[in-house]
Structure 1
Amino acid sequence: MATLGLSIDEQKAVDRFRKAVVEPSMDKLVILDFWAEWCGPCKALTPVLEKVSAEYADKGVLLAKINVDEDKFIAAQFQVRTIPTVYAMFQGQPIADLTNARSESQLKAMLDQILKQIPVKADGAEAPDLAPLLAMGEEALEAGDGERAYSIFAQIAEMVPDNAAPHAGVIRALLLLGDVETAQRLMDALPEELAKDPVLDKAKAALALAKDAPEASELDGLKAAAEAAPQDQEAGFAYASAAFAAGDRDAAAATLLRLIAQDRAWNEGAARAKLLQIFEAIGLEDAWVSAQRRKLSTILFG
């Protein structure tokens, strides 16, 4: 439900609705009841809804109530004409009209049918073990299979949208596929609390480095300039940055290590900082990174 152009009161109503209905409906089936104090049929239906939702709580069902007099904006968004109006909500969308289910047996029959068709997370159910799924995505990234990695991480992100790890994987997969624009858009769209998760540091570093990606002809020119003047720190640094963004991490690391050996203090240690950024983007546990770190240690400490 978009908030652009809404008044402050309307934005508050949307926020309340998001917290009370949309967010729980990501993995629950929410019975959404539009009612009012003056509505006689509403008062008759309320005990039925409360009783059945309580009985079905362990199956992943919960009840949310919207007073149409207090939340007129939300009622208008659902085009509520009469009350009671009752919907079944899942993943933020109405998936069934339950208004005509006025008895316990009718409501239970409809809920049973709906629950067979959607992946609701029941109370007490064990959360999925993400470790092997995330490992599969990482293996796909290491193998250079961006499409498979994206598919794996995207599916995990749908399962656990509040977990930063699969979102980081999606962004890194997009970078592997060369889609920097979409990767940046997804990063910018993450909720503030999720964006602060350290799990995203690797993706952020990779995204920052990917923005240096040049055209093929430009990369050739940068390489030629660096080779023609090996003592030119600026030329070497430009080539190393572009080479990594273009996917040639070996050339990038070799060039940066050479620059550090020549003058580690150049531009306030820019070459070393860039190399460490590359390590972070790839992952400190990666075997290639370990090998490059040993080379860096040799240069720095002899």
Structure 2
Amino acid sequence: MATTDLSAQTFERTVLDNDIVLVDFWAAWCGPCRQFAPVYDAASQEAGNEGIVFGKVDTEAEPALAGAANITSIPTLMAFKEGVLVFSQPGALPQSALQSVIEQVKALDMEPIKAEIAKEAAAEGSSQD
């Protein structure tokens, strides 16, 4: 699957409607971003990565989205599984490291993570009473 350009209008729906979404925050003027782009594009074409959405956010075209995602350094790679941010790291990754992140996200058991999120939400709700 090819990479998908994401915007403020499509970002949330894409993350919530897909099981695994990787997002590369980048800019055209950024050397490391240009270095990472072919690695990211190649991973999107890998046979074992079908079903994963490989999104890209141009931080110059989408400054509000980059700000909302707290992007302070580019490139930054984020991974979402079942709508939950499970990985965020700035810097260009080599192919092997990117594939390792993808495999770890695929293998991640979301039940304990979602249970912890629910527990924190319940605690936050009761502290506001």
Is TM > 0.5 for Structure 1 vs Structure 2?
yes
Q: Which has the higher helix share?
A: 1
Greater mean alpha carbon deviation, residues 97-106 or residues 39-48: 97-106
Residue aligning to 1:202: none
Shift of 1:89: 1.3
From 29, 33, 41, the equivalent of 1:38 is 29
Distance 1:110 1:52, change over 3 A: same
Residue aligning to 1:169: none
Q: What secondary structure is seen at the aligned counterpart in 2 of 1:33?
A: strand
Structure 2: runs of 5 or more not aligned: 1-6, 111-129
The aligned amino acid for 1:37 is A
Distance 1:50 1:87, change over 3 A: same
Contact 1:88/1:98, CA 8 A, preserved across alignment: no
Cα-to-partner distance string for 1:56-102 (whole Å, 9 max, x where unaligned) = 432x3221000111111110011111110111112333211244561
Residue aligning to 2:101: 110
Distance 1:46 1:24, change over 3 A: farther
The aligned amino acid for 1:70 is A
Contact 1:98/1:110, CA 8 A, preserved across alignment: no
Distance 1:32 1:115, change over 3 A: same
**Identity %, equivalent residues:** 28
TM-score, normalising length: structure 2: 0.69
Distance 2:92 2:103 in 1: 13
TM-score, normalising length: structure 1: 0.32
Shift of 1:53: 2.1
From 43, 49, 60, the equivalent of 1:57 is 49
Shift of 1:54: 1.7
The aligned amino acid for 1:104 is Q
From 14, 17, 30, the equivalent of 2:11 is 17
Map of 1:236-275 to 2, 5 A cutoff?
Answer: none
Distance 1:23 1:102, change over 3 A: same
Q: CA RMSD in A?
A: 2.0
Count of paired positions:
103
Distance 1:36 1:116 in 2: 30
Map of 1:80-91 to 2, 5 A cutoff?
Answer: 80-91=71-82
Cα-to-partner distance string for 1:136-168 (whole Å, 9 max, x where unaligned) = xxxxxxxxxxxxxxxxxxxxxxxxxxxxxxxxx
Shift of 1:46: 0.6
Distance 1:101 1:35 in 2: 10
Distance 1:84 1:110 in 2: 15
Structure 1: runs of 5 or more not aligned: 1-12, 120-302
Map of 1:1-302 to 2, 5 A cutoff?
Answer: 14-19=8-13, 21-25=14-18, 27=19, 29-55=20-46, 56-58=48-50, 60-100=51-91, 102-118=93-109
Runs of 4+ displaced beyond 6 Å: none
Q: Which has the higher strand share?
A: 2
